[in-house]
Amino acid sequence: MLKVFLERLRQGYRTSAYPLEEPKLPDRLRGLPVIDQAKCASGCEAGIESCPTSALGMKDGKLELDLGRCLFCGECERTLPDGAVRFTPDHKLSARRREDLVLRGQELALAGALEGEMHRVLGRSLKLRQVSAGGCNACEADVNVLTTIVFDLGRFGIQIVASPRHADGILVTGPVTENMKLALEKTYAAVPSPKVVIAVGACAISGGPYIGHPEVHGGAPSVVPVDLFIPGCPPHPMTILDGLLRLMGKIERKRAAEVVE
Amino acid sequence: MSPAPLETRNAQAVPIADVPDLGDEEFRDAILTAVSLGSRVSALFGHPAGEGKLRLFCVLANDELGSLALLSRQVERRFMSLANDCPGVHLFEREIFEQWGVEPHGHPWLKPVRFQPPLVAAGARASQIGVANFFRVEGEEVHEVAVGPVHAGVIEPGHFRFQCHGEDVFHLEISLGYQHRGVERALAGGPDKRTIHYIETLAGDTTIGHAVAHCETLEALAGAEAPARAHAIRGIALELERLANHTGDLGALANDVGYLPTASYCGRLRGDFLNMTAAICGSRFGRGLVRPGGVAFDVEPARSAELQGRLARAMRDIRGATGLLWETPSVMARFEETGTVTRETCEKLGFVGVAARACGVGRDARQDFPLGMFRFSQVPVMTWHTGDVFARAFVRALEVESSGKFIDGQLKALPAGPVLAALPERAPDRIVATLVEGWRGEVCHVALTDERGRFSRYKVVDPSFHNWTGLALALRGQQISDFPLCNKSFNLSYCGHDL
């Protein structure tokens, strides 16, 4: 027994101070990409072709980057003219509307809180049922890690629950395979209203690397209405946590309080 | 005398024309003889040979000799099943039936593997997910428990059927396929800009293992080698992947027996190892690191020094965390003699990785078929003989220790030079089989190229494909409440199996 206590002392306190402090993230993290249209003057068409999921495109002569399709592989940084797309270590990526994920050089409109009655019911306590529908276990693992002592999801009133009947919503990963479509629909139907759907990762938002495969549907939006999109392949756990807290209005509120001070 | 199988080595490209094309009996005899002499079937798959024929390719691996052998035969509508004499091929034969409609005649358990549409052009889906002829035990008070595809935890989907008598499990049938994304179909015709992303997401927790196997395959086809420094960084990443996953599993096992100190510590430590991978390449799972011709990120001296410090601290903590397990009687009582798989079963069914080493079988591709840095820096093979949950946990703990030492050694002596080299054109009409010891076990990639050097077939065998049957057998005679513990002790991949 003594050994257990000694080890407990040695292991120390490990819960991160987030959101009071900004998280410490790796310098090479490929987070929010920044587009510089001016750098595309000399032509970006050739570089666009290198994007594995066609997340990059040109519209009205302007470069577009769809975060919902992006695998954050950084290939475009190498093939486009220098500086046209630059990945920053900024982990804040989530959005409430699919179209907000399409970057054209504007600032990303980060997810806002749930509205009205939804916010009243779910803003303080959010119970989620996770459904992996063709996910490769990377998104799943980085959702699961939020329940460890480092992130300690419980302190934000968020919990992953075992049954859809106990849940306020579902958190979907994977491109939604044909073989999981029915199970996803049934799980969604089993969640009592009001309910939310959160799509985590490129697969769940758009199909990711599997876009266009006849074996998959194009992610969660093809089957259920999605309230929160969290891009990445997989998203960093902090990206996921940031998205969840924004949905509950826990980050906005803090910012507003700071402004008042 | 019939032609002998083509002897080759790991990640060595040979002309497809050199692979002997045997008759029905010869093919059968060659495989059974090799297996009786200590080889096992690493891969067995079909490839269309034109004129309505299918050519079956078999990759035999001999762990003791470190050699691979290739053989093939052409079949039309059916062939004699080998599964009764060589149970290790049972799932491969079912896969051939599902993918190409060619029947392994006399197969004892012919059912869908993934409920996927056939790979034959314009083939219609012949099966509906979850609708199968499940094995059933009848009798007084015998009942069936069905679980999944959606499980209670944050975990991939699969369907499990237990035939029970009270709490005792007579039989568990595992029916997968929910994760099928059509990866093998999409890999044919490549490599193209999506190929590496398919490989990195085959089984997301084995990103490095699969990416290394793929890049070694491409390098073999191009007749080139990655720079030494790249090999060292790949080795570091592969062992970091092993550390992270083994640590996570040890924590999960502790959690499943209600021993929370180790569960908490390991949950955090797993993240520390993932973050070390992220320190190298920006991604916790090693996305974007391993690339054909080398690696995309260097580990500069300052980064290496920082990683060494982080590794030393994490290794101390993991030792302390797992040490508690072995000293706690309530943990050991649950681990020992739970979910036992015998060595004989393991040999017969050809299990790989931790599951095999926990049955006392010293099978480890890093030692038996070394590639990259493992040719120069050996990692000891860790085994334990009891075949139970304890053995699978203990082998993991031993491997954590040796992986830590390997990484530390590599970081302290990184070879100088570049980390990425341009690859020449891939050779046409070649076949290459590559084995890499991923954290779960042997990752096997087999590529066949066409006349332009493109993949005409790319076969992937995740270690889980060999080992799922092991979990089913481990449950026999157990209590149904021990399923989560047994499941964690194998921790197999659903998407790696379903592809």
> What are the tens digits of pLDDT across the range B46-103?
999 888 899 999 999 999 999 999 999 999 888 999 999 999 999 999 999 999 989 9
A214-225: pLDDT as tens digits: 999 999 999 999
pLDDT at residue B362 above 50? yes
B27 touches chain A (CB under 8 A): no
DSSP character at residue B130: T
d(CA B118, CA A40): 44
Residue A126 shares a structural domain with residue A225: yes
Q: Report chain B residues whose CB lies below 8 A from the CB of A14.
A: 268
Residue A136 shares a structural domain with residue A230: yes
| Percent residues over pLDDT 70 in chain B | 99
pLDDT at residue B155 above 60? yes
Which residue among A91, A108, A126 closes a domain?
A91
A143 touches chain B (CB under 8 A): yes
Residue A122 shares a structural domain with residue A87: no
CB–CB of B155/A141 below 8 Å? no
d(CA B17, CA B188): 19
Residue at A102 is within a domain = no
Residue at A244 is within a domain = yes
Residue with tokens 């908490």: B264
Residue at A61 is within a domain = yes
Going B103 to B149 to A204 to A77, the CA torsion angle's sign is: negative
Mean pLDDT of all residues in B105-124: 84
Residue A45 shares a structural domain with residue A171: no
| Torsions phi, psi for B258 (to 5 deg) | 75, 25
Interface of A with B in 237-256 (CB under 8 A): 237
Residue A122 shares a structural domain with residue A37: no
Cis peptide before A194 (omega within 30 of 0): yes
Strands (E) in chain A, as ranges, are 33-35, 56-59, 62-66, 85-87, 102-103, 126-132, 158-160, 169-173, 196-200, 228-230
B284-318: pLDDT as tens digits: 999 999 999 999 999 999 999 999 999 999 999 99
Kindly report the CATH number assigned to the domain that includes residue A56. 3.30.70.20
* Burial (CB count within 10 angstroms: exposed 0-12, middle 13-18, buried 19+), residue A82: exposed
Highest mean pLDDT among B78-87, B115-124, B234-243: B234-243
Q: Which of B42, B49, B34 is nearest to B4 (CA)?
A: B34
Residue at A2 is within a domain = no
Asked which of B100-114, B398-412, B454-468 is least confident by mean pLDDT, the reply is B100-114
d(CA B180, CA A134): 7
Residue A215 shares a structural domain with residue A139: yes
Going B178 to B179 to B184 to B186, the CA torsion angle's sign is: positive
Rg, C-alpha atoms of chain A: 19
**pLDDT value at residue A256:** 42
pLDDT at residue B200 above 50? yes
Interface of B with A in 180-199 (CB under 8 A): 180-182, 185-186, 193-194, 197-198
Cis peptide before A175 (omega within 30 of 0): no
Q: In the predicted model, what is the mean pLDDT of chain A? A: 90
Structure tokens at B202: 């085959």
Mean pLDDT of all residues in B130-149: 88
A53-68: pLDDT as tens digits: 999 988 888 889 999 9
CB–CB of B244/B310 below 8 Å? no
CA atoms within 13 A on the CB side of B37: 12
Q: Under an 8 A CB cutoff, do B324 and A7 touch?
A: yes
pLDDT at residue B365 above 60? yes
Residue A160 shares a structural domain with residue A203: yes
d(CA B232, CA B214): 17
CA atoms within 13 A on the CB side of B68: 26
What are chain B's domains? 6-105 (3.30.460.80), 183-498 (1.10.645.10)
Residue A256 shares a structural domain with residue A128: yes
* Burial (CB count within 10 angstroms: exposed 0-12, middle 13-18, buried 19+), residue B69: buried
Residue A124 shares a structural domain with residue A243: yes
Q: What is the domain range of residue A177?
A: 116-260
CB–CB of B73/B23 below 8 Å? yes
Residue A70 shares a structural domain with residue A183: no
Number of CB pairs, chain A paired with chain B, less than 8 A apart: 187
A174-187: pLDDT as tens digits: 999 999 999 999 99
Residue at A108 is within a domain = no
What total number of domains does chain A contain? 2
pLDDT at residue A257 above 50? no
Query: Under DSSP, is residue A50 helix (H, G, I), strand (E, B) or coil?
Result: coil
d(CA B357, CA B362): 6
Q: Report chain B residues whose CB lies below 8 A from the CB of A214.
A: 117, 182
The CA distances from residue A79 to A76, A246, B190, B425, in Å, are 5, 34, 20, 21
The ipTM estimated for the assembled molecules is: 0.93
A83-87 contacts, C-beta under 8 A, 24 or more apart: A83/A36, A83/A39, A84/A35, A84/A36, A84/A39, A84/A40, A84/A44, A84/A47, A85/A33, A85/A34, A85/A35, A85/A36, A85/A56, A86/A33, A86/A34, A86/A36, A87/A30, A87/A31, A87/A32, A87/A33, A87/A34
B273 touches chain A (CB under 8 A): no
Which of B128, B178, B201, B310 best probes binding to A when mutated, by most A CB atoms within 10 angstroms?
A: B201
CB–CB of B393/B263 below 8 Å? no
Residue A131 shares a structural domain with residue A86: no
pLDDT at residue B6 above 80? yes
Which member of A134, A142, A148 has the closest CB to residue B179? A134
Q: Under an 8 A CB cutoff, do B268 and A14 touch?
A: yes
Mean pLDDT of all residues in B373-389: 94
Q: Which of B406, B367, B369, B399 is nearest to B383 (CA)?
A: B399
Mean pLDDT of all residues in B358-363: 94
pLDDT band, residue A260 (cuts 50/70/90): very low
Mean pLDDT of all residues in B341-361: 95
Q: Report chain A residues whose CB lies below 8 A from the CB of B128.
A: none
Residue at A65 is within a domain = yes
| Torsions phi, psi for B252 (to 5 deg) | -65, -35
Cα B260 → chain centroid? 29
**pLDDT value at residue A258:** 47
The CA distances from residue A183 to A127, B28, B145, in Å, are 19, 41, 18
Residue at A145 is within a domain = yes
Query: Under DSSP, is residue A44 helix (H, G, I), strand (E, B) or coil?
Result: coil
Residue A219 shares a structural domain with residue A256: yes
pLDDT at residue A261 above 80? no
Residue at A184 is within a domain = yes
Kindly report the CATH number assigned to the domain that includes residue A212. 3.40.50.12280
Q: Which of A250, A257, A38 is nearest to A126 (CA)?
A: A250
Q: In the predicted model, what is the mean pLDDT of chain B? A: 93
B202 touches chain A (CB under 8 A): yes
pLDDT at residue A201 above 60? yes
